[in-house]
Structure 1
């Protein structure tokens, strides 16, 4: 269906017009104005900063809540002309979801496990069957029943005991990512009295079926700082701390090896890691250090047979695979299995009794490499699309010849395959069903390369509906992230159909700071090279305009979290390039946050952004920090979203940013702040509630384009 573009009819006798500026003037609505209260930070490196909106940091202050609510009301008012359209968009997005649905079952320790959704219900039902799929169903957890009475409810870390009688899981009812671990008796349905607060939600059973290892969080910084051991029936306050991470730039976690032989504690920062291991049959034993941490050396471990396997960047920027005997785990005993390659990033391994599956990335695309550990023969899976995502899925059993993997692309719905590594036969177990008649043949995907100012070729993944004309007059949404080495994959989204069917193209800029093109790609977009991330994104936008995919009058940008930092930076650097920008839970007050060690995540991210207590790092991050660089000039139309309980990027960063933009901007473009008062970094809980956020974002874009249905 071609995009329908007609004048919008406002609910307040608004005449049809072509620009958001005139619409705002016609509405005669005054945006909220935050009070200015001078707050002077202590001088650092001879520099004194003043923040007049620092008071918004007080979450429990009624004045702060009133301001956020006023902004929400203003957003609703300004988008009132598309209120009905927004509601229809929500129903449209929801209508593509198969409400009664079920995941592909997987086998673990004598049981078949799967997740199903019931019609009209927000939350999953976790189930299992003993022995085979034809056995009677046992409900492990029905989260719909558990979530009754809560505005937010999230369950993570389901972990069944080795004897299959108990399940441990974490619950967060605030969206602060501080989980309480509970234990349920699967034979009686009884909830045991054990309730362990302030954890990451995950846990690991020892093989005695009564000892749980788990990660505790620091109460204020939320850093995952220690591993404790809980004996069922004991008071959690008396749980023994078996490992405490003293370095506040590190976080820690615990898991069990796939072989189920070892409990493993990991500890790591951005650039360094360290592991400890313990026989899972001896939970009261002492953890052994696998190899002591070293500066700028990362490694991950897993176990099979008489060896540990190590994926490491030791003398290998793009990582390599090593092996070592069980009783000699130090680096001096490591033997190379897969060497370092300059053009291939080794991302991880999946071990089976007779096979090893290696996840790699080449030219920005994921690859799955199958190695027969007995014969040494190997091959790659073939996927045959220009831009796609392939990944190892749930494979909990070592003694299997079947690889469960996932596949998707910008046009191919999420698909689950079983691949027989012996016969090389693959079976599609399930493909995401998109209701409403979606046909991938009606859409086109491309993989392009934009050239950055320094000559670097930056990949761009692109999708649009057939009939899209490259005449420079079509709307295009450009998405970016570019931090932490996170590669943004060209995955399928049924929500995106609502954009494509109304004439939008959707593009992903695989900018530096991610890891799409190898480890160097990440290193060239962090610390003192962070600005490459921003200029890459701008160069991708310029390239798409040059190639007539869109124009400045129809180019939109979007990013969230660290991608919200990207949005803040590019609107400061090139505000003229974008018709509209969506910044979701944006990290925009870089200097203030990185100077405050009490804020969650700060100390663990010095290796990503720099430590502003050092003068050179302070000056560099201040030169791009969005909040510190807002000046009197015209900015594009902007929608900024946040969550009151966000633990990753505190709500006050986007709130302060919007307040300062309101004060400084010289244009009359839309500037909207939407705060979810019941949610945090990930938005609303539940599979349908989250679609309201998407409907808001799309309504904003369509409003600016004059698309009303």
Structure 2
């Protein structure tokens, strides 16, 4: 095994001797995959019959499915536990995760509130203090006490304007369903009813009387994790009354798949953003100073994205991509709210405006320049004040606050720059370090570069590459290629113990900014959706070819990885180009493109994917790349570790179950194709630290082992 960093001769000899005496690990040829029955299930789409023999695995309540999950996990963990260097990988992952993490503080009433984790706590603890300069702090809420196994997590907080009341959301086992509990912040006593069956919602307080929230009808018994979510409604909950008396504010007569509700800072306007897909929303405003007033509809279609970021009297400032694919700030009044009356306050620029917020009487605009943050401060009249100096090339966030604030706290991160909190003086524009974690690695040992490579159709696509300094470009480095490419989501440089663990063990990490994302505005997004989705896969494949052509790696040392829509990306790539990589890690992936819309919130993804029942042309396009349907019998696929979770009600685990069953049926290579099914976990959010350590240990052990690599060499 060739060393990637030049070592003294005696260390090379030691490494060689160790590798020669390494304990023998598991063999794929010894794996006995569980027998998975096939049923005669056929659907007909526009005269085309499509067999779905593993449909029965969609029933998450069936005893047969439960037995299949248990049998698959037995095989998977038997293999993973026999990898000889698994304990070394776990030690590296655990060491890097084990550092104090502190969030940026938010002030509510007389207190500053923030999350903190001492390193290995399963859930972050919610603290507060009256003085950030003192050491006096107290635990306000400790989610680690919510459950014995750490699988019940906090999933959001909201305070009344005076800070006297606070509502927090909790998630059980990683599910998207929430409970809402309200506390008196002085006594920490529970106030009123605990609300249940909330989903895809925030909490917006109106004074101290109550709050607005959004939810769906209560799911039928046994269907909470799979039933389709539709026709969300906005409710008002009055403190001291039971949830059964909550009144419907919106969504009874005008039905929408989802509706976001929030109040402007002065609590005058209730702003509703109905949506039916992941892109585009209507916009409604109700003037609460006139209790009998109706909702005023500003936008009556789903063609663009809009949000109100500031109000001042009758004046409204709107962040929108209407007439500006890279986004602009528009202004209007409640008296002339229609888009035809909107005036541009800050026009779109060459680079996409990724987010916009207000604080201290100013606007803060966060632009992406080739997937890197550039933050600018403007007056409320649209005059440029300054560019904010950031500590390095990376990602910044958190420039929001109240109108009377004189300072704010923002975070900055990059691949080798742990998430760090800075205090920003709004008037002077000066930043000072507030909180920086002490992580067990030396950032000076690493280098990050951004390259641009050519995709199949000639499009230039950016990619970040990170590795230790001194790595030889000899074409033999274990390399992990990560991507997403969808839903207008931008992948930007950020610190992650996932990637740092891989890097510390001698790997190269690459992250491609594929079409379908939001890195270059709406045109970049639309170039990777519906009938253009193949562009995303082509971009990812081209990224892998670039890494090989530039001698970072070779097909035996390349792994591809992605989650959710990124799991679709990996599934499509490995079915179209099974020779591209040695290892494939599709995580919580959307893998059945003909039926994804039938479960939970899946129908909302049609804005990016299209649906098989839309048209014959759309069906044929989806059928042409759907990973589950494009596995071919007698094909040698990469060593594959599919990961999912039993409480994932975002991308239901049936996608992964069916894909794994067919992959095991058709695969003829000498590599393992396994599925790892986490219990008491969901799509990712709220996963306990202990489970995260185990997951990363298994993924990296599997990857290195199937590359025939020793971690750290």
TM-score by length of 1: 0.91
1:234 aligns with 2:236: no
The aligned counterpart of 1:410 is 415
Change (3 A) 1:132 1:406: closer
Task: Look up the SS of the partner of 1:515 in the other structure.
Answer: coil
Deviations 1:120-153 (Å, cap 9, x if unpaired)? Answer: 53223222234665496454322122x2335620
Verify the 8 A CA contact 1:481 1:562 in the aligned structure 2.
Answer: yes
Does the Cα contact within 8 Å between 1:102 and 1:117 map onto a contact in 2?
A: yes
Pick which of 125-134 and 445-454 moved more: 125-134
What do the CA deviations read for 1:443-466 (whole angstroms, capped 9, x no partner)?
011100110121110101010001
Find the aligned partners of 1:421 and 1:683 in 2 and give their Cα distance. 32
Matched, 1:364 2:365: no
Regions of 4+ moved over 6 Å: 8-11, 245-249
Aligned partner of 1:537 among 540, 555, 563: 540
Give the structure 2 partner of residue 636 of structure 1: 638
Partner of residue 24, structure 1: 28
Look up the match of 1:622: 623
Counterparts of 1:139-150 in structure 2 under 5 Å? 139-145=139-145, 147-149=146-148
Indicate how the Cα distance of structure 1 residues 173 and 352 shifts in structure 2: closer, same or farther if over 3 A, else same: closer
CA 1:109–1:260 in 2, change beyond 3 Å: closer, same or farther? farther
- Measure, in 2, the Cα distance between the counterparts of 1:592 and 1:10: 46
Which 5+ residue runs of structure 1 have no aligned equivalent?
A: none
The answer as to whether partners of 1:442 and 1:465 remain within 8 angstroms in 2 is yes
Query: For residues 36 and 289 of structure 1, what CA distance do their matches in structure 2 show?
Result: 54
Once the two structures are overlaid, the 10-residue window that deviates more, 255-264 or 474-483, is 255-264
Give how far 1:657 is off. 0.5
Contact kept in structure 2, 1:534 and 1:569, CA below 8 Å = yes
The secondary structure found in structure 1 opposite 2:432 is: strand
Q: Of 462, 479, 503, which residue of structure 1 is paired with 2:465? A: 462
Report if the CA contact (8 A) 1:645-1:678 is conserved. Answer: yes
Which residue is equivalent to 2:188? 189
Q: Deviations over 1:615-658 (max 9, x none)?
A: 21111111110011111211111110001111111111111111
Name the CA shift for 1:543/1:113 in 2 (closer, same or farther; >3 Å): same
- Cα deviation, residue 336, structure 1: 0.9
Match of 2:609 in 1: 609
Match of 1:277 among 282, 285, 296: 285
Residue aligning to 1:390: 396
Residue 248 of structure 1: how far off its partner (Å): 6.9
- What does residue 35 of structure 1 align with? 37
Deviation at 1:701, TM superposition (A): 1.2
Q: Deviation digits for residues 531-589 of structure 1, max 9, x if unmatched?
A: 00001100111011111111111111001111010011111111101010111111100
Change (3 A) 1:33 1:249: farther
1:672 deviates by: 1.0
Q: 1:49 to 1:674 in 2, by over 3 A?
A: same
In 2: Cα distance, 1:8 partner to 1:665 partner: 31
Residues 348-363 of structure 1 aligned to structure 2 (within 5 Å): 348-363=355-370
- Residue 686 and residue 245 in structure 1: after superposition, are their counterparts in 2 closer, same or farther (change >3 A)? farther
> Partner of 1:72 in structure 2?
73
Structure-1 separation of matches of 2:521 and 2:103: 32
Q: How does 1:140-179 map to 2 (within 5 A)?
A: 140-145=140-145, 147-149=146-148, 152-179=151-178
Cα distance in 1, alignment partners of residues 130 and 501 from structure 2: 41
Equivalent residue runs for 1:271-420 within 5 Å: 271-279=279-287, 285-286=292-293, 288-306=295-313, 307-341=315-349, 343-373=350-380, 376-383=383-390, 385=392, 388-391=394-397, 393=398, 395-420=400-425
Partners of 1:279 and 1:264 lie apart in 2 by 9
1:432 aligns with 2:432: no
Residue aligned with 1:544, SS: helix
1:673 alignment partner, SS class: strand
Q: Residues 300-348 of structure 1: CA distance to partner in whole angstroms, max 9, x if unpaired?
A: 112232321112222222222111123322223211112233x321223
**Residue of structure 1 in register with 2:12 after alignment:** none
CA apart distance, 1:55? 0.6
Counterpart CA distance in 1 for 2:22 and 2:672 is: 15
Once the two structures are TM-superposed, the CA of residue 183 in structure 1 deviates from its matched residue by 1.4
Match of 1:660 in 2: 662
The alpha-carbon deviation at position 592 of structure 1 amounts to 2.0
**Residues 160 and 168, structure 1, Cα contact 8 Å, conserved in 2:** yes
RMSD of the alignment, in Å?
Answer: 2.6
**Counterpart for residue 507 of structure 2:** 504
Q: Structure 1 stretch 604-613 or stretch 187-196: which is displaced more?
A: 187-196
**Is the alpha carbon distance of 1:646 and 1:243 closer, same or farther for their aligned partners in structure 2, counting shifts above 3 Å?**
same
Residues 660-683 of structure 1: CA deviation (Å, up to 9, x unaligned):
011112212110100012111117
TM-aligned CA distance change 1:420 to 1:293, over 3 Å: same
Q: 1:486 aligns with which of 489, 494, 505?
A: 489
Q: Point out the more displaced range, 638-647 or 132-141.
A: 132-141
In structure 2, do the counterparts of structure 1 residues 175 and 408 end up closer, same or farther at CA, with 3 Å as the change threshold?
closer
Q: 1:293 to 1:55 in 2, by over 3 A?
A: same
Compared with structure 1, are the counterparts of its residues 377 and 303 closer, same or farther at alpha carbon in structure 2 (3 Å cutoff)?
A: closer
* Maintained 8 Å contact 2:480/2:560: yes
Instruction: Write the distance in 1 (CA, Å) between the matches of 2:340 and 2:410.
Output: 34
Between the aligned partners of 2:394 and 2:118, the Cα distance in structure 1 is 30
Match of residue 559 from structure 1: 562
Per the TM alignment, residue 249 of structure 1 is displaced from its structure 2 partner at its CA by 6.5
Structure 1 residues 695 and 172, CA gap change in structure 2 (3 angstroms): same
Compute the displacement of 1:374 (Å): 6.4
Q: For the residues of structure 2 that align with 1:707 and 1:285, how far apart are their CA atoms?
A: 69
Q: Quick one: structure 1 residues 10 and 45, their matched pair in 2 at CA, closer, same or farther if it must change by over 3 Å?
A: farther
State yes or no: 1:265 paired with 2:269. no
- Separation in 2, partners of 1:321, 1:60: 48
CA distance in 2, matches of 1:10, 1:37: 44
Aligned length: 687
Q: Does the C-alpha gap of structure 1 residues 151 and 492 become closer, same or farther in structure 2, counting only changes over 3 Å?
A: closer
Taking the aligned partners of 2:472 and 2:253, their CA distance within structure 1 comes to 58
Provide the C-alpha distance between the structure 1 equivalents of 2:458 and 2:123, rounded to a whole number of angstroms. 48
**In the aligned structure 1, how far is the partner of 2:292 from the partner of 2:132?**
36
User: Aligned-pair distance for 1:499?
Assistant: 1.6
Mean CA deviation greater in 242-251 or 322-331:
242-251
Secondary structure, aligned partner of 2:318: strand
Name whichever of 162-171 and 541-550 sits farther off: 162-171
